[in-house]
Amino acid sequence: MSQPDSFYVTTPIYYVNAEPHIGNAYTTVAADVLNRYHKLLGNQSYFLTGTDEHGSKVAESAERAGLSPQELCDKNSEVFKNSWKKLNIEYDKFIRTTDPEHEEIVRNFIQVLHDKKYIYQGEYKGLYCTGCEKFITERELTEDGKCPVHLTKPQEVREKNYFFKLSEFLGPLRQKIESGELEIVPQNRRNEVLGLFKQNLEDFSLSRERVKWGVSLPFDESQVTYVWIDALINYISAPKYPDGPDFDRLWNKSTVIHLMAKDILKFHCIYWPAMLMAADVKLPDKIVIHGYLNLDSQKISKSLGNIIKPDDMIGWFGVDASRFLVLNMCAFGSDGDIRIEDFYTKYNADLANNYGNLVSRTLKMIDRNLNGILPQPKGGEMPDIIKEGYETVKRVREKLVDVQIKMATDEVIAYLSKLNAYFDENKPWALAKEGKTDELGEVLYNTSYGIALSSALLSPYLTEKAVTVLESLFGKKVPSEVVLQELGNALGFTDKIEPPKKNLFPRLSMPKDLAPKAEEPLADNIIGIEDFAKVQLQVAEVKEAEKVPKADKLLKLQLEIGQDKRQIVAGIAEFYEPDALVGKKIIVVTNLKPVKLRGIESNGMLLAAKKKKKLSLLTVDSDIPTGAKIS
């Protein structure tokens, strides 16, 4: 299949309610690397990212910060831009959904759907999670009724809304996904999307009555466009749907690739293409869905507050290595559990040893033993190690067609390992000692050739350091794509090769304050807080108390615990008269399995301190309502 030569790569547009974290950086670096790879391999590529600025989530954050929604958006979209700048992200356009041009295009697009009669009015009732900015079903909730992502209780919402006739497009859309006309990768996510068609996919509401911070509907100004619909339209508003000068080139004539994590798959793989079909607009070509970066097995997310910021990474490893590491800890498509020490291990293995050290050893030997001059190859067949380099370029290209970014990188790293082995097996230091200058020149030329190819292939990540290496080898700035265009030819290295002034990637050890705290060995009788948290303790008031007949030690107590009434049987008759207990506030374990004592049900256990022949009930030292929990 011949590849089109023009690509249009997008990331999700991120909510501005908080700062970017490495989860957002993951997708953005992936898109940036993909965009740079396309160009490196001789194609045209355009890269769009931006911020999602409407909706109740942003409005609520603004209110908490004492700002107007627009002020918060202006401030935080800059934070995103700055973070991306620090990470050397080179986007072509940064779209904001509060851009007036975007807002106008949202209204135009919705009007088209309305004119084509794909929008109707209805009433919406459901559970809404503000964190997700979406309705969630009872089935999706956790056991205690919370959103599984944000661990907050959703709100019950009932309002008049406008609905999109999704049902009309489900059949044709499914067919487009099955036939690969709309390609969803990787395969397991495609299957997940196809699985959604078997569930009850209903027409969805595309407007909101309660929400004020949004783009008003063109045919009913009392409602705003649902933030998700507003956001999805960014992909066509950026090239100015329907007839802006770039629309045809970027949307219709390019391979459109949307990148995102699995959280927003339904919006992108079902709602968005269905809306485009309704408006007679071409569909995206490829939807690429990656997994989550997890920290301690929990998704890194703003709402959960367990974030690593891009700045943290840059502080630990510098820009180039951060770009490399954030993307290459796990297969693109799978979830990756991050431990910070794994970043250090990978940094040292791939960048410090495999790449940086090889560059340094090779260039130093050329400088010292060959006066900085590599001999031209004798001609004839290319040596295997260089042919292997060409094969690597080919394999990288193949992996990128499937947007298997990590696999593409692994090809380069594997090639660098072979190059290191070639260097070590040929012992250039011994050749130098023995005065075998021709052979030495050949080994160092071949290694430098491999380094040049690897640097070109790593340059989408190592935007600064790979360029420095190429500059050392060629004596001037040589774009990576030019190096790759020379495949099959001898490379014209400079006649004054100098080793980089500074160690490219010095070995690093993890600072002590980042190391996970060693767990204290627990004595046999020590429990963790999670064990204690299993016991539910509450304040109760004794309403009635009486002796249990024929049992000297037992009292039967009737308790009030908040709204709850309970009976317990306690072995305190030797220490308390029943009447003295009435009105007392005591502490009770309220999640004990009920038991029967002398045939009487006891539904809880009171707490008391006991030593020798003394017993004292635990109580509270100020007036607090019954039912109050103890922690």
Footprint of ligand ME8 (CB under 6 A)? 12-15, 23-24, 26-27, 52, 231-232, 234, 260-261, 263-264, 292-293, 299-301
Taking the C-alpha atoms of residue 187 and residue 191, their distance in angstroms, rounded to an integer, is 6
Minimum CB distance to ligand ME8, residue 64 (Å): 17
Minimum CB distance to ligand ME8, residue 14 (Å): 4
Contact of 570 with 558, CB cutoff 8 Å = no
At residue 134's C-alpha, the angle toward residues 132 and 138, to 5°, is 100
Pick 39 or 96: Cβ nearer ligand ME8: 96
Pick 179 or 297: Cβ nearer ligand ME8: 297
Pick 14 or 423: Cβ nearer ligand ME8: 14
- Residue located via tokens 């910060």: 65
Contact of 348 with 507, CB cutoff 8 Å = yes
Task: Quickly count: other Cβ atoms within 10 Å of residue 277's Cβ.
Answer: 18
Pick 334 or 616: Cβ nearer ligand ME8: 334
Pick 59 or 537: Cβ nearer ligand ME8: 59
Minimum CB distance to ligand ME8, residue 54 (Å): 10
Q: Pairing relation of β-strands 119-129 and 134-136? A: antiparallel
Minimum CB distance to ligand ME8, residue 16 (Å): 8
Instruction: For 397-550, list the strands marked E by DSSP.
Output: 537-547
Pick 41 or 304: Cβ nearer ligand ME8: 304
Phi, psi angle pair for 492, to nearest 5°: -90, 85
Half-sphere exposure at residue 100, Cβ-oriented, CA atoms within 13 angstroms: 0
Query: Which tokens belong to 146?
Result: 């919370």
Residue 117 per-residue DSSP state: T
Pick 23 or 499: Cβ nearer ligand ME8: 23
Minimum CB distance to ligand ME8, residue 161 (Å): 20
Minimum CB distance to ligand ME8, residue 483 (Å): 32
Q: End-to-end alpha-carbon separation of the chain, Å?
A: 65
Minimum CB distance to ligand ME8, residue 267 (Å): 7
Minimum CB distance to ligand ME8, residue 89 (Å): 14
Phi, psi angle pair for 602, to nearest 5°: -120, 120
Helix orientation angle between 22-40 and 310-317, rounded to the nearest 10 degrees: 70
Pick 289 or 542: Cβ nearer ligand ME8: 289
- For residue 367, the SS3 value is helix
- For residue 252, the SS3 value is helix
Contact of 30 with 405, CB cutoff 8 Å = yes
Query: Which tokens belong to 6?
Result: 């023009």
Contact of 102 with 233, CB cutoff 8 Å = yes
Task: Quickly count: other Cβ atoms within 10 Å of residue 3's Cβ.
Answer: 14
Pick 303 or 454: Cβ nearer ligand ME8: 303
Minimum CB distance to ligand ME8, residue 189 (Å): 12
For residue 340, how far is the Cα from the chain centroid?
A: 16
Pick 260 or 581: Cβ nearer ligand ME8: 260
- Residue located via tokens 């006739």: 165
Pick 277 or 497: Cβ nearer ligand ME8: 277
Q: Which of 412, 389, 257 is CA-nearest to residue 324? A: 412
Minimum CB distance to ligand ME8, residue 317 (Å): 18
DSSP H helices, 98-217, are 100-115, 170-179, 187-196
Nearest-CB residue to ligand ME8?
23
Contact of 187 with 334, CB cutoff 8 Å = no
Minimum CB distance to ligand ME8, residue 281 (Å): 15
